[in-house]
Structure 1
């Protein structure tokens, strides 16, 4: 039986399967949006509980991942409205788990990748939420522009503009953190 049908039948094992299949993905997405591991975990837990309670509202079972992402993004937005997240320090440990690169051959290469990921994460976290949201959904969650527009109830042209502006801002932030005066990169 399909996972969605099992969820509709209120099978607890289906909920566990849903959490195992989409938990890491949703946690990564939520963390990139809210910048706090604990709050991201809460948002993901709320997402699963909401999905389990409202599974009958899912019109197309093939869009389960998109539907879950939509719920998670809305939970993150709610959290962003409640708190002043600029006062929370970034915990970079989870960022390493965002994308693992198995092609890294040496410890030096591994360190360079880690530094780059930290710099990129710091830069993303400095963006306004509207840019951070589209950058996260487009690049990390691999949503298409029309899917992001549907998720955020925003026009596609606005999403394209935010992506363009977000990339420009990211480049500026990353370039600010570089100092090539002695031939090596230093971060602020």
Structure 2
């Protein structure tokens, strides 16, 4: 007597699709809200260059993950500060030598691009460092370079903070500790393997 093969439950597929749709909507909503706040708050406070914060939010949203944590936000702010320090240092070293400055910036960006592709963790840190290093350049105007660079760095850090706060305040994604489940699966697989070795199936 043969038994009919059971087909997978359609509700499982429906639930997974619904969760995926909800996750995409939450990610899009958080990104849109971050962009709105990145524009509204600086404009309401009278801060210059609000578009810098909005561009930063878009860059992080395009390259980051929905599960961005507060620790990643802190690291991105540090990357922004490092980029500002590097950019202002290069401007101070080569205030009049345009070609020497461009050569130094090219070498720095090449190194950061290599770290961006080689690093296995949150590589947006290196991306923000490279972006801020380029953004503090004020077209060769050495007089207002410091204030211009500080404004750009501040608005970039503000964009990172806005995105991090929104991502952690609305539908925060918490990491699940599944170490025990993974250990049980590995033990079960080893048990089956040793069972087959001890009692081989005759062909």
Per the normalisation by structure 1, the TM-score is 0.28
Per the normalisation by structure 2, the TM-score is 0.27
- Higher RCO, 1 or 2 (CA under 8 Å, sep at least 6)? 2
Larger radius of gyration: 2
